[in-house]
Structure 1
Amino acid sequence: MKYILVSGGVISGIGKGVISSSLGTILKSCGFRVTAIKIDPYLNIDAGTFSPYEHGEVFVLDDGGEVDLDLGNYERFLNVTLHKDNNITTGKIYQHVISKERKGDYLGKTVQVVPHVTDAIMEWVERVVKIPVNGDQEPPEVCIIELGGTIGDIEGMPFVEAFRQFQFRVKSENFCNIHVSLVPQPSATGEQKTKPTQHSVRALRGLGLSPDLIVCRSVSPIEMSVKDKISNFCHVAPEQVINVHDVSSIYHVPSVLEAQNLSTYLKKRLSLPTYPARFLLTKWKNLADKYDRIQKKCTIALVGKYTRLEDSYASVIKALRHAALAVNRRLDLAIIEATHLEEETVTNDPVSYHEAWKKLCIADGILVPGGFGNRGVEGKIAAAKWARENQKPYLGVCLGLQVATIEFARNILGMNDANSTEMNPDTPHPVVIDMPEHNPGNMGGTMRLGKRRTVFKSDQSVLRKLYNGNRDFVDERHRHRYEVNPSFIHLFEEKGFNFVGHDVEGMRMEIMELKDHPYYVAVQFHPEFLSRPLHPSPPYLGLLLASCGKLQTHIDKGNRLSPRERLMSENDPDTSESELEMSLRSNLVLKT
Structure 2
Amino acid sequence: MKYILVTGGVISGIGKGVVSSSIGTLLKSMGFIVTAIKIDPYINIDASLFSPYEHGEVFVLDDGGEVDLDLGNYERFLDIKLHRDNNITTGKIYQKVIEKERLGDYLGKTVQIIPHITNEIQEWVERVAQLPVTEPLAVCDDGSNNLSDESSGQVPDICVIELGGTIGDIEGMPFVESFRQFARKKGPENFCCVHVSLLPKPKSTGEHKTKPTQVSVKELRALGLSPDLIVARSEEPIDQSIKEKISNYCHVDPDQVICLCDQASIYRVPLVLDQQGLIEYFSKKFNLSIEPDPSRKFLHKWRRLAERHDRLLKTISIALVGKYTKLEDSYASVIKALNHASLTINRKLQIFYIEGSSLEETTKQHNPSEYYEAWQQLCKADGLLVPGGFGGRGIEGKILAIEHARQKKQPFLGICLGFQCAVIEFCRNVLGMTNAESQEQNPDAKEKVVVEMPEHNGGNLGGTMRVGRRETIFVHKDSILYRLYNPKNDRVYERHRHRYEVNIDMLDRLEKAGMRFVGKDTTMLRMEIMELRDHPYFVGVQFHPEYTSRPLKPSIPYLGLLLASAQKLDTYLARIESPISNSDNDVSDSDSTDSIVVVKSK
Both proteins in one fold, TM over 0.5: yes
Output the amino acid matched with 2:90: T
Moved more, 552-561 or 171-180: 552-561
Matched, 1:34 2:34: yes
- Whether contact under 8 Å (2:575, 2:581) holds in the other structure is no
Q: CA deviation at 1:566?
A: 3.6
Residue 533 of structure 1 corresponds to which residue in structure 2? 551
The separation in 2 between residues aligned to 1:514 and 1:26, in whole angstroms, is 44
Output the amino acid matched with 1:91: G
Q: Structure 1 residues 167, 522: CA separation in 2 closer, same or farther (over 3 Å shift)?
A: same
1:30-69 paired onto structure 2 within 5 Å: 30-69=30-69
The separation in 2 between residues aligned to 1:520 and 1:470, in whole angstroms, is 24
- Whether contact under 8 Å (1:186, 1:192) holds in the other structure is yes
Matched, 1:292 2:316: no
Residue 460 of structure 2 corresponds to which residue in structure 1? 442
The separation in 2 between residues aligned to 1:303 and 1:64, in whole angstroms, is 26
Q: CA deviation at 1:559?
A: 5.3
Output the amino acid matched with 1:321: N
Matched, 1:512 2:536: no
- Whether contact under 8 Å (1:47, 1:68) holds in the other structure is yes
Matched, 1:223 2:223: no
The separation in 2 between residues aligned to 1:25 and 1:409, in whole angstroms, is 48
Q: Structure 1 residues 150, 562: CA separation in 2 closer, same or farther (over 3 Å shift)?
A: farther
- The CA deviation string for residues 330-358 of structure 1, in whole angstroms up to 9 with x for no partner, is 00111101100011111011000000000
Output the amino acid matched with 1:424: N
What is the CA RMSD across the aligned residues, in angstroms? Answer: 1.7
Moved over 2 A (4+): 275-280, 558-569
1:342-491 paired onto structure 2 within 5 Å: 342-468=360-486, 470-491=488-509
The separation in 2 between residues aligned to 1:564 and 1:21, in whole angstroms, is 30
- Whether contact under 8 Å (1:286, 1:568) holds in the other structure is no
Q: CA deviation at 1:469?
A: 5.0
Residue 574 of structure 1 corresponds to which residue in structure 2? none
- Whether contact under 8 Å (1:184, 1:218) holds in the other structure is yes
Query: Quick one: which of 150, 165, 173 aligns to 2:189?
Result: 173
Q: CA deviation at 1:171?
A: 1.8
Output the amino acid matched with 1:126: E
Residue 330 of structure 2 corresponds to which residue in structure 1? 312
The separation in 2 between residues aligned to 1:118 and 1:462, in whole angstroms, is 53
Unpaired runs of 5+ residues, structure 2, are: 135-150, 596-602
- Whether contact under 8 Å (1:418, 1:429) holds in the other structure is yes
- Whether contact under 8 Å (2:308, 2:591) holds in the other structure is no
Residue 148 of structure 1 corresponds to which residue in structure 2? 164
Q: Structure 1 residues 362, 564: CA separation in 2 closer, same or farther (over 3 Å shift)?
A: farther
Query: Quick one: which of 136, 142, 145 aligns to 2:152?
Result: 136
Query: Quick one: which of 236, 244, 265 aligns to 1:249?
Result: 265
Q: Structure 1 residues 355, 23: CA separation in 2 closer, same or farther (over 3 Å shift)?
A: same
Matched, 1:236 2:252: yes
- The CA deviation string for residues 190-232 of structure 1, in whole angstroms up to 9 with x for no partner, is 1100000000000000000000000000011111110111111
- The CA deviation string for residues 360-418 of structure 1, in whole angstroms up to 9 with x for no partner, is 00000000000000000000001110000100000000001100000000011111000
Output the amino acid matched with 2:326: R
The separation in 1 between residues aligned to 2:487 and 2:398, in whole angstroms, is 31
- The CA deviation string for residues 299-356 of structure 1, in whole angstroms up to 9 with x for no partner, is 0000010011000000000100000000010001111011000111110110000000
The separation in 1 between residues aligned to 2:251 and 2:281, in whole angstroms, is 17
- Whether contact under 8 Å (1:64, 1:451) holds in the other structure is yes
- The CA deviation string for residues 488-524 of structure 1, in whole angstroms up to 9 with x for no partner, is 0000000110000000110100000011100000000
Q: Taking every aligned residue pair, what percent have the same amino acid on both sides?
A: 63
The separation in 1 between residues aligned to 2:10 and 2:236, in whole angstroms, is 18
Residue 98 of structure 2 corresponds to which residue in structure 1? 98
Moved more, 551-560 or 35-44: 551-560
Q: CA deviation at 1:123?
A: 0.2
1:78-97 paired onto structure 2 within 5 Å: 78-97=78-97
Residue 568 of structure 1 corresponds to which residue in structure 2? 587
Output the amino acid matched with 1:568: V
- Whether contact under 8 Å (1:36, 1:144) holds in the other structure is yes
The separation in 1 between residues aligned to 2:20 and 2:180, in whole angstroms, is 20
The separation in 2 between residues aligned to 1:535 and 1:565, in whole angstroms, is 15
Residue 598 of structure 2 corresponds to which residue in structure 1? none
Residue 19 of structure 2 corresponds to which residue in structure 1? 19
- The CA deviation string for residues 15-45 of structure 1, in whole angstroms up to 9 with x for no partner, is 0000000000011011010000000000000
- Whether contact under 8 Å (1:301, 1:333) holds in the other structure is yes
Output the amino acid matched with 1:222: I
- The CA deviation string for residues 43-67 of structure 1, in whole angstroms up to 9 with x for no partner, is 0000000000111100000000000
Local SS of the residue matching 1:557 = helix
Residue 493 of structure 1 corresponds to which residue in structure 2? 511
The separation in 1 between residues aligned to 2:83 and 2:214, in whole angstroms, is 36
- Whether contact under 8 Å (1:564, 1:584) holds in the other structure is no
Residue 8 of structure 2 corresponds to which residue in structure 1? 8
Output the amino acid matched with 1:488: M
- Whether contact under 8 Å (2:3, 2:190) holds in the other structure is yes
- Whether contact under 8 Å (1:323, 1:540) holds in the other structure is yes
The separation in 1 between residues aligned to 2:166 and 2:583, in whole angstroms, is 42
- Whether contact under 8 Å (1:459, 1:469) holds in the other structure is no
- Whether contact under 8 Å (1:483, 1:508) holds in the other structure is yes
Local SS of the residue matching 1:567 = coil
The separation in 2 between residues aligned to 1:310 and 1:564, in whole angstroms, is 36
TM-score norm. by structure 2 comes to: 0.93
Local SS of the residue matching 1:73 = helix
Moved more, 276-285 or 221-230: 276-285
Q: CA deviation at 1:470?
A: 4.7
- Whether contact under 8 Å (1:45, 1:92) holds in the other structure is yes
Residue 572 of structure 1 corresponds to which residue in structure 2? none
Residue 126 of structure 1 corresponds to which residue in structure 2? 126
* Aligned residue pairs, count: 575
Local SS of the residue matching 2:95 = helix
Local SS of the residue matching 1:371 = coil
The separation in 2 between residues aligned to 1:495 and 1:331, in whole angstroms, is 34
Local SS of the residue matching 1:385 = helix
1:185-224 paired onto structure 2 within 5 Å: 185-224=201-240
The separation in 2 between residues aligned to 1:63 and 1:559, in whole angstroms, is 33
TM-score norm. by structure 1 comes to: 0.95
The separation in 2 between residues aligned to 1:23 and 1:485, in whole angstroms, is 47
Q: CA deviation at 1:137?
A: 2.9
